[in-house]
Chains A and B, each alone.
Chain A
């Protein structure tokens, strides 16, 4: 699949002049981006560039200081975070954020419950919700944790908890997946599995991927955005951005061949 001309495809998610300041520190500075339907989009940048802050803004985990966010043309800037999964926007966290005392399956089942019209159901056990259980099992299958179904999440390996993190987002039935460094801290083997999964997800969802691992980024993304110090340095088709002099200079520092 090649990237169609940017303007001709509908943006499922769009930011306009998005800015977030923490006191004097401008973590995200006037970022305008368009994320197109099923076009895998990676955002890279050095530590502290503002990538996670951008994710937090996109998923309403933080309020922007300025600017707008649109989902399929509708302004969602002021919506609370709990409305995001309902709009099809799901996210994972850079720092593993699973429920350690719940079993692996309970974690994804809770996530899958968000598909119900309401979880204000008091009498029958959650284990009797057929569809929810099926969705949860599907998500476990996808993230490769079916064999760990009954494990208490907190006792699983770090890599498995990262997988579970992805499984939980998938269980919410997202259309837009915003993943914050899914490969962070994973071993080589675990990474390979995860990259394969991400490629698969990129075909089925609109994937927005924050990642430091360049090999992974180049094998998955079609569009690449480079952030430095809160500002967008460059954004466009991967090859074009890769060749950009500004990116070479600013991001690669003293001529180091990172790409």
Chain B
């Protein structure tokens, strides 16, 4: 059976060019970047070049980039590294932020969660009014992983700067899909991940603006300017850097391609199926995210029917989560739990085609119709 992957917010396939770039670093250039001999120097050169590439993609300097094991570690490092006293974040952050905040609360920090509007947007005014005397850090994600809403982070960054507070943003979903310039956006700390941009898993980075002091999470041999001990994952870093440079190179064509497919999918679903709503902001939105709510049906059933047709998506339904809790993001934008059940996230990627979207539009109305026919909620 033909399989169609529409879950790129979860992870992506590694680009073949990225794999090619990585391969020599397993078997030939395998030195430890800390060693003084030629093997070590070759590895160090690759590390330096990778750091420069990732820095360039963010408008940063090379010595402001720390490589990590991924987005979750970057978020943990940023928050535990600078967070004390009072921290401000949003109610729709990724669990890597929310659970780190919970951890910090246990250590005596106080956390304010600013709400979002019905399209998932943070009001910078709410952030500003949450600032108190000992606020040390504001952390608001750049784009949401479930509904794709892009936050006004330049404005929030400017507010943080005015008040002399550090500003962190989790840019794991937005990196490669929206412009990022850490200087213009007043960002002090920013998390990115490789496997969301067609790079390998297990590698990411934290941008730390020059002059910002952070406490490390990992203690050891003084790697990464003393901020992240552990022998550098050179093949991973080379792959991440290659993926980042491809993302920059292909930014315009990717954006055009993804926006076209996303608009085709949303319009096609709305045309062929009744009682469907788009979750999130219609315009301030990642170009590859279509999060749609199908009234009267449950998301896990819908997901599994799509899976039987070879189509891979995700859902915010309580039934699909181990805890049986509905998505905290969809709750935060004010959707009733029974409506959250029918929410499906389609996230498109570079490799998707128009004919794949056509196929989705062919099979989806029948599946929704079948589930609605057996739903006691439909036609009430």
A-B complex is real: no
Q: Which residues of A contact B (CB under 8 A)?
A: none
